[in-house]
Amino acid sequence: MIFTPTLERLASVDVSDLTEMHRVRQTWAEICATDFDHFDTLYELIIDAGETLLGGTHRPDPAHKFTPKTATVFLTTVSDQRYLTGIGSRPAIQTRLARHNEKILWLIRQMTAAAKQQPELAQPVDALISLYFHHASATGDGIKLYAGVVRVLPDVLMSFPEHAFSFTLFLLTQGSDAAKDIGRIVTFHVVQRGDVMHTFCQEVANGIMGLTSGSIKARWQLGAAIMGPVARAARDQRPDIINDLVSGFVLTPLKCNPSHREAEIARLEAELTQLRGRVRRLEERLKSPTPITVQDTPLLYDISRVQKELDQIKTDFEDWKGEHRDLAVRHIASQPDKRATLEAIQTGLSPLRNDTLDHLLSDAANLSSA
C-alpha cells in the first residue's frame, strides 16, 4: 500500500508531534496531487482506525493494522487540509467524506457513548469531527454533511466536557437550530458544571461579544437567542453564579473586566510568549534569509499591540482600565446586535440584578442618544 511508509513513521510519534505529522501530510500531498483515488484508501484507513478504537476493525483484511495509539495519531494527522494541494482536491475528498458519512457519524456516536469509560476517546472524536471542517465546504453537498455532524455535536461536547474541541462552534453555527444547540451546551457548562470560563463558553463569549468579532457576523447575531435562555437558567437554578456569568460572557470578551494588575501583566506576557513562538515557527518554515516583516504576517502587528498594552498597564493600570471600559461602552453603543445580547441577559436575570451590566447598558444608551 502506498501509505505504508508514512503509517510506519506515524507509529513512532506521539499525537503532540506536530512537526512529524506536518511532514507526513507533505508526503501525502505529493501522493494525492495527481491521483485522487488515493483518497479512497485514506478514508478506508479512517474507518479502520475508528473501529480499532472501538475494539477492532470489521474488515476481514484491513490494509493496515492500527493500535489505539497509532489510530489516534493517524486520525489526528488525516483530519487536516494541508495535504489537499492539487486542483480539485477539495471537491474530490468531500465526495469520499459523503460516501463514508454515515459510518463516521456512527463512529462518533459510539465513541461518545463510551466517554465515561474511555475519556481518552475525546481526541479521536475531535479528529473525526474536524474532517467535516477540513473536507467539506459550506455550499452544495457540504451543507448536508454539516447538517449531519451538527446533530451529534451537543452530546459529544457534553460527554467530553474537559476536552477543547477544535471546530465545533463553527460547525454548530451552520445548523438550523444553532442558537438552541449552542445555548444548550453553554447552559450545561454554566448551570450544571458552574464553569463559566470553560473553553467553549469563552469561544462563544468572544464570538458574540468580543471587540474583534465583527468578521463572524453570524455568531454575534445569535447572541440574544443564545444568552437569554442561559441567563434564565442561571437565575432559576444557579443564582449564586450570575456575577460570574456577567463577568465571563460580557466583561471578559469586552476586555473591561476589573482584575488585578499582576494578573493582567501575566496574561499579556503569556500572550506575547505565544505570539513570538508562532513567529519563530513561521520563520523556521519560511527559511527566509532576512527577518520577516509585518507584510509577511500580521502576527508582528499583534506583538506590537500587546507589548504597547503591557507597557501601559505597568505604567498606569487605572488609566488602562478606564480606557477599556470607555471602549466597551462605545462598542456596545455602535453594535445593535451586541446591545440586544446584553439586554437579553439583563432580562433573563430579572428580577436579579448585576450593577456592572446595568451601568454598561445605561452608558451605552446615553452615548447612542447623545
Cβ proximity of 324 and 256 under 8 Å: yes
The residue assigned the cell 437579553 is 344
Determine the pLDDT at residue 290: 64
- DSSP H helical ranges for 37-177: 38-53, 68-78, 89-99, 101-113, 122-134, 141-150, 153-159, 168-172
Residue at which a domain ends, from 169, 190, 209: 169
> 251 with 288, same domain?
yes
> 99 with 191, same domain?
no
Question: Alpha-carbon distance 133 to 127, whole Å?
Answer: 10
Give the CB-side neighbour count of residue 179, counting CA atoms within 13 A.
Answer: 14
Q: How far is CA 274 from CA 19, 80, 259, 300, 310, in A?
A: 17, 22, 22, 12, 15
Determine the pLDDT at residue 288: 63
> 353 with 209, same domain?
yes
Q: Mean pLDDT, consecutive 10-residue segments, the chain of 370 residues? A: 89 88 92 90 94 80 86 94 89 94 96 94 95 89 91 96 90 91 96 93 89 58 93 96 93 81 87 86 69 70 88 88 88 90 95 93 85
Question: Alpha-carbon distance 233 to 190, whole Å?
Answer: 9
Determine the pLDDT at residue 213: 53
Number of separate domains in the chain: 2
Cβ proximity of 202 and 185 under 8 Å: no
> 209 with 282, same domain?
yes
> 106 with 48, same domain?
yes
> 6 with 23, same domain?
yes
Determine the pLDDT at residue 34: 84
Determine the pLDDT at residue 215: 43
> 331 with 240, same domain?
yes
Q: C-alpha grid cell for residue 310?
A: 503591557
Question: Alpha-carbon distance 293 to 121, whole Å?
Answer: 41
> 138 with 7, same domain?
yes
The whole-model pTM stands at 0.84
> 117 with 252, same domain?
no
> 220 with 366, same domain?
yes
Question: Alpha-carbon distance 305 to 309, whole Å?
Answer: 6
Cβ proximity of 339 and 332 under 8 Å: yes
Residue at which a domain ends, from 169, 203, 226: 169
Determine the pLDDT at residue 280: 81
Residue at which a domain ends, from 112, 135, 169: 169
Residue 364 lies in domain: 177-370
